[in-house]
Chain A
């Protein structure tokens, strides 16, 4: 294979992995919240953007190192989530068909956050960029890749692995999964369902915030990224099966690679629509999603 083809192949691979792992994180966060409290969180894109903008403030305005900023951003999502839960989310726990109420509520949150960002960050700049975690370039064969992107990829995979281990082996994770599958049976087995709601809301948002700050470390962004990410995360959740974290992770990676590969063999424009087209086709054959139980 010629050097040019190697570069093309490795760039496709790196793009697929980085985009895929970030998509997976955000979609996993959305599906955790939906799977436990039945909240289709339309505000996930704004939460993602909030994390990115908060990271920008910490690093660019306050001069904090990006690694510390990333930890702070993910950390701050927990008290924010609890506050939001106490003020708004909790009130709907006993409402029948609350997913509709939650959807409308999250649309309201979306509008409020979009307005706040537009009146603040939107008037300070039209684009935002964080300093890199690590500088320099590494050559993989003939392909040069920024060390910063490698670091983001490693962190994204580590967080996904941590999430998998938590849900699979930790007793809180097992309790969460039990609630995902059958909350009445889980309650009979002694699981505190309401407590698991709180935890899943915080955990889901922490994962979305992690996706947001990692995205901001890998790419420049502007305020429109919230809408793109919200649609992508919903599409991944629907194809993977609402409530299925494994589905979110697998389909997130598939989306990342689809975008990278189709953009080479066809065009970036076709790539942007290809996975949405795939979503419609899959839903024709399996409306409940590929990994739904």
Chain B
């Protein structure tokens, strides 16, 4: 009897091994699943595009473990140009026959790819682009990982409401679509949160100096100053506000990436910035800690939320395909797989699920800077908020 069971066990094990090997072989024999990754490798947004690709590469290594059908990201430069983004999308769609598109880190290029994707029914996974209209009602093929910018404004109001009920806020920002969306959300929510906007100063593109406007902000006597400059001007505004006597604890930056935080420097210690991922988060998973460690080892600085979203994009696509293998060769099935996906960020366990328009359940952390060194910084978590994408009328606030 014993020998009968032994024989049966050995036979079952051997069969299972053979079956698994056959499946692995079948998965590996299939051609790779191609994802078109249209991003900013040159042009004014090249820092964000190349940083995104750096994050993606870490993710790509992890998701292509032996036995799984390979996912290949076809990385293409959009030159930070909407027209070039459309041309690249068309080429990836028609010639490379990619399963889905992804990659833009700018709302301008993101909107260009969005138009192509929705019109041509190509699933589009947006890693980093915050303009609300990317998931406007009626969107069917687009899924966005980054919360929309008007919602960030909503979250700032919630943060100030908690810090200083009835507080006064000054806004000083560059007049770009992203900043307009953030301030639209803040201006909408501020009265609902019983906050007062005491200064609203917008700078055109290409501005250099904010000394006079810093003096105007000081004269308005705000409790908090929301600073959103574009590129280098962000740092100029910050420095000039501090020069004129605004305290670091009064400054709120809606977003802070690693290079920004390090450029704000020691004199900004005490100020706040919003983020969706930070190397100092309390809630980093073991995978998140490994990602941070590996990224620092390779690039000499901690990753920001942009790199994280691109890293997570690779994992999200893998998970959607693992749960729905038949979606690997069918765009409609992949769209459906993304639509019903319920997962968590690999790096921080924040839930990921999309609403009917492809907008994600939204969230933000506000960090307070505690120290800055030449190639690193420390910050502590000061506030966390989650909200429904349409908690405020984002799609009518920002057209």
* Contact stretch, chosen from B153-161, B215-223, B279-287: B215-223
B→A interface (CB under 8 Å): 42-44, 46-48, 50, 175, 201-209, 211-216, 218-219, 230-236, 239, 243-245, 257, 259-260, 263, 265
Query: Which of A4, A127, A260, A268 interacts with B234 by CB under 8 Å?
Result: A127
Looking at chain A, what size class is its interface with the partner chain? 35 or more
A215 to B50 Cα, complex, angstroms: 27
B275–chain A nearest beta-carbon distance, Å: 15
A146 on interface, CB distance cutoff 8 Å: yes
A221 to B263 Cα, complex, angstroms: 11
> Is B231 in contact with A224, judged by CB distance below 8 angstroms?
yes
A53 to B209 Cα, complex, angstroms: 19
Query: Which of A14, A118, A145, A222 interacts with B231 by CB under 8 Å?
Result: A222
A15 on interface, CB distance cutoff 8 Å: yes
Q: Select from chain B the residue with minimum beta-carbon distance to A260.
A: B212
Please name 7 further chain A to chain B contacts, defined as beta carbons within 8 Å, in addition to the given A126-B259, A220-B232, sorted by A numbering: A4-B218, A11-B212, A12-B212, A118-B46, A144-B244, A222-B231, A224-B205
- 19 pairs across A/B with beta carbons < 8 Å? A4-B218, A12-B212, A18-B209, A19-B208, A122-B47, A123-B47, A127-B263, A129-B235, A137-B243, A143-B215, A144-B245, A145-B243, A220-B263, A224-B231, A228-B206, A259-B209, A263-B212, A267-B201, A272-B204
With a cutoff of 8 Å between Cβ atoms, the chain B residues found around residue A223 in the complex are 44, 231
A42 to B112 Cα, complex, angstroms: 30
> Is B243 in contact with A15, judged by CB distance below 8 angstroms?
no
Q: Looking at chain B's contact residues, is the secondary structure mostly helix, strand, loop, or mixed?
A: helix
> Is A220 in contact with B235, judged by CB distance below 8 angstroms?
yes
A122 to B259 Cα, complex, angstroms: 12
With a cutoff of 8 Å between Cβ atoms, the chain A residues found around residue B201 in the complex are 267-268
With a cutoff of 8 Å between Cβ atoms, the chain B residues found around residue A123 in the complex are 46-47, 50
With a cutoff of 8 Å between Cβ atoms, the chain A residues found around residue B215 in the complex are 4, 7-8, 11, 143
With a cutoff of 8 Å between Cβ atoms, the chain B residues found around residue A62 in the complex are none
With a cutoff of 8 Å between Cβ atoms, the chain A residues found around residue B212 in the complex are 8, 11-12, 15, 260, 263-264
Query: Which of A11, A124, A129, A215 interacts with B214 by CB under 8 Å?
Result: A11
A→B interface (CB under 8 Å): 4, 7-8, 11-12, 14-15, 18-19, 115, 118-119, 122-129, 137, 143-146, 215, 219-225, 227-228, 259-260, 263-264, 267-269, 272-273
> Is B46 in contact with A146, judged by CB distance below 8 angstroms?
no
Knowing A18-B209, A127-B263, A144-B244 touch, does A8 contact B47 (C-beta < 8 A)? no
> Is B42 in contact with A118, judged by CB distance below 8 angstroms?
yes
Query: Which of A12, A115, A129 interacts with B232 by CB under 8 Å?
Result: A129
Q: Select from chain A the residue with minimum beta-carbon distance to B47.
A: A126
B376–chain A nearest beta-carbon distance, Å: 15
> Is A146 in contact with B42, judged by CB distance below 8 angstroms?
no
> Is A227 in contact with B244, judged by CB distance below 8 angstroms?
no
A225 to B207 Cα, complex, angstroms: 9
> Is B42 in contact with A115, judged by CB distance below 8 angstroms?
yes
Knowing A129-B235, A267-B202 touch, does A11 contact B211 (C-beta < 8 A)? yes
Query: Which of B43, B214, B231, B265 interacts with A126 by CB under 8 Å?
Result: B231
> Is B232 in contact with A128, judged by CB distance below 8 angstroms?
yes
With a cutoff of 8 Å between Cβ atoms, the chain B residues found around residue A224 in the complex are 44, 205-206, 231
> Is B213 in contact with A225, judged by CB distance below 8 angstroms?
no
> Is B42 in contact with A119, judged by CB distance below 8 angstroms?
yes
A25–chain B nearest beta-carbon distance, Å: 14
A2–chain B nearest beta-carbon distance, Å: 9
Query: Quick one: which of B216, B231, B245 has the most chain A CB within 10 A?
Result: B231
A7 to B107 Cα, complex, angstroms: 38
> Is B244 in contact with A219, judged by CB distance below 8 angstroms?
no
B105–chain A nearest beta-carbon distance, Å: 11
